[in-house]
Chains A and B, each alone.
Chain A
Amino acid sequence: MKVSKWVAAVALAVGVAACGDKGGGEVTIGVATPITGQYAAFGEQFKRGAEMAIADLNASGGVLGKKLKLKIGDDSCDPKQAVAVANSMVSDKVPVVIGHYCSGSSIPASDVYAEGGVVQISPASTNPKLTEDPKKTTVFRVCGRDDQQGKVAAAFIGKQYAGKKLAIAHDKQAYSQGLAEETKKSLNAAGIQEVLFDTVTPGEKDYSAFVTKLKQAQVEVLYYGGYHTEAGLIVRQMREQGMNTVLIGGDAMATKEFWGITGAAGEGVLFTFGPDPTLDPKNAAIVKKFVDAGYQPEGYTLYTYAAVQAWAQAATKANGMDAKKVAEQLRAAPADTVMGSLGFDKKGDLTTPAYLVYTWTNGGWKPLPTQS
């Protein structure tokens, strides 16, 4: 009996230590993202952004007197693996998870976080479903939604390519399908009808049959919902078949890897993306810090940084890391971040989302000048 009492006492002590909330020490926060697999480039954006944010917060005393530590979960952008990562985050009692990248991972993982009392802030998942469930009150995102992104893309196509033959395609994944269908909805509502709506299989290398189909339909503008790898291959194979069809994609094209695949063939490819915080003069010092560390903070790097900032400020205001209270604070007042002032609505979406159309040129991208 004595032994079991000891065991119980030790277990209790360990348990208390593990979830002790007050005083100094450390607290681990989670980042869930694809570190391996074909979307690993975005995982690196998350990782770099979160690491820098944590280093900067710790340098100024941490959050509620605690130093932050990072636990990175690799979901490979696979929904099954994402749920496993989410469970491991919940069992480690992290107060917040910044992630995931792919909508297809974020959505199933959000159930686990909501039940486990963990705040989830996705820097990049744009599928509307993520924040649509009213029961999940602790899920947020610092990016826009596909229905907003789709509207911007549709308005741009309607204005710039009126009367041109249009095709819409996606790669059947949650993010891609959501984006393509939202864009289609907006286009059709504006009276623009596509000549072809098709899908491709992600992960393949051969899209020549699909490209030939576009050629047959004499498509001049292709709206593609999907990731940069497939988009890059499609552009390459279109140019090889002598087509100069314009490809317009979504926010997943915002990585230098796209240009690595297409090379010069990527010139003029368009995509929608939020306002790029790296272009904001106020962030010059932070951008320089990344560049000095040998990393160009492209795409979602600063989005991730901002997500960590928003959570840290809300936790400070809530004077604790309880998910419900932090969520209330996130909604109560806008957070001051590298992305500017970020307010969240009832669903957990940004109150001021905006998308711009960017064009790939010369190995980088820049916003098209004609936009307000």
Chain B
Amino acid sequence: MHVPPPMAYFLQQLVNGLVLGSIYGLIAIGYTMVYGIVGMINFAHGEIYMLGAFLALIAFVALSAIGLSSVPLTLVIVLVVAVTFTAAWGWTVERVAYRPLRNSPRLAPLISAIGVSIFLQNFVQLTQGARSKAIQPVLRGGVTLYGGGDGGFAVTISWLQIFIVVFTTVLMIGFTLLIARTSLGRAQRACSQDLKMASLLGIDVDKTISTTFVIGAALAAVAGMLVTLYYGVIDFFIGFLAGIKAFTAAVLGGIGSLPGAMLGGLLIGLIEAFWSGYAAAEYKDVAVYGILVLVLTVRPQGLLGRPMIEKV
């Protein structure tokens, strides 16, 4: 099959954007879910993702130190370790820093979240050091979609990129089903509509909120592990940039809306890839936030968000 070079180039940038967008989307879900239920922006969520990445890295290093060579087994163990410990962090943060402030003025938990974020960043910096940590590629190779040949443009997708997109898609489908079909999902939806009413009707609000934080942290841990696998280099500061991008994704998609978070994440990934691919890369972030402003002026509730209805 012959594909003209411009088309092949477009496809390659599409792949780049989808992979990046999937990771943003996974983190964005944590922001949007917490906002949907307790109405606060969990600014420490980026740091939770960073913790996930570090836990995954530690697990990788430990496993290779004991000489485990099976790639699938390594991935499963690393995933379990990263998700378990990060989820525990997510639960603890909610218990320690947010729950005592639930009935305080809205600014209190927000400041508390910023505090947690700074705490976690410094904690990791002090315990793990300030230098970048790197691991060598675990999963190598990929498929070449078009050979390219004499000067043509070869579109290549690495196994890792396929793994990231497929794994994220499966997670998101599973997660959507969880919200739509299970009793936990029903409790979460009830809490997002009216916390007080939900508790009057016998829903354990504390438990539901805890679970929300745990799920958000688990998804962030998956994102952290994928980033560690994909780029192989992490440092204590990665949570900041990724957190800001994912938060933007959540707002772009409509904060509080789960499909919105996924869509927002993908859109930001794609805008970044295509803007750097076709226009001046130095204006990439200007483009992302410009589009955000544009969307919000036309649709203040975000792409898939519902308009705010004053609750009385």
List residues of A whose CB falls within 8 A of some B CB: 35-38, 40-41, 172, 198-201, 203-206, 208-210, 212-213, 215-216, 218, 229, 232-233, 236-237, 240-242, 257, 260-261, 263-264
Contact = CB atoms under 8 A, between A and B. Distances in A.
Contact of B130 (A40, A172, A215, A216): A40
B156 interface: yes
Given A205-B227, A260-B134, A210 B241 contact: no
B210 to A, nearest CB: 31
B276 interface: yes
B167 interface: no
A160 B199 CA distance: 74
Interface stretch (B12-20, B27-35, B106-114, B170-178): B12-20
Interface residues of B, number: 42
B160 to A, nearest CB: 8
Nearest to A262: B134
Given A212-B277, A241-B156, 13 more contacts: A38-B131, A40-B130, A172-B282, A204-B241, A205-B227, A205-B238, A206-B231, A209-B17, A209-B276, A212-B9, A233-B231, A263-B137, A264-B136
B232 A208 contact: no
Interface in B243-300: 272-274, 276-277, 280-282, 284-285
Contact of B237 (A203, A209, A218, A260): A203
Contacts of A212: 9, 12-13, 16, 277
B233 A216 contact: no
Contacts of A215: 12, 153
Nearest to B136: A263
Given A200-B281, A206-B231, A257 B20 contact: no
Nearest to A242: B156
Nearest to B125: A36
A260 B137 CA distance: 12
Contacts of B153: 215-216
Interface of B: 5, 9, 12-13, 16-17, 19-20, 125, 129-132, 134, 136-137, 142, 144, 151, 153-154, 156, 158, 227, 231-235, 237-238, 241, 272-274, 276-277, 280-282, 284-285
Main DSSP-derived SS at the A contact region: helix
Nearest to B277: A209
B130 A36 contact: yes
A172 B284 CA distance: 13
B144 A216 contact: no
B42 to A, nearest CB: 22
A206 B144 CA distance: 20
A210 B136 CA distance: 21
Contacts, number: 99
B156 A208 contact: no
B273 A208 contact: yes
A267 to B, nearest CB: 13
Contacts of B231: 205-206, 233, 236-237
A198 B233 contact: no
A261 B276 contact: no
A333 B67 CA distance: 59
Given A41-B131, A208-B273, A216 B237 contact: no
Contacts of A260: 132, 134
Give the residue among A198, A209, A257 with the most B Cβ atoms within 10 A: A209
Nearest to A171: B282
Nearest to A208: B16
A208 B241 contact: no
Contacts of A233: 231, 233
Nearest to B278: A213
A218 B158 CA distance: 20
A257 B132 contact: yes
A-B residue pairs, 6 tightest by C-beta: A209-B276, A208-B16, A205-B231, A36-B130, A40-B130, A209-B273
Contacts of B233: 205, 229, 232-233, 236, 261
26 contacts: A37-B130, A41-B131, A201-B281, A203-B237, A203-B241, A205-B233, A206-B20, A208-B19, A209-B13, A209-B272, A209-B273, A209-B276, A209-B277, A212-B16, A215-B12, A215-B153, A216-B9, A216-B153, A216-B277, A229-B233, A237-B231, A240-B158, A242-B144, A257-B131, A261-B232, A264-B136
A156 to B, nearest CB: 26
Contacts of B284: 201
A209 B151 contact: no
Given A38-B235, A241-B156, A210 B276 contact: yes
A149 B20 CA distance: 36
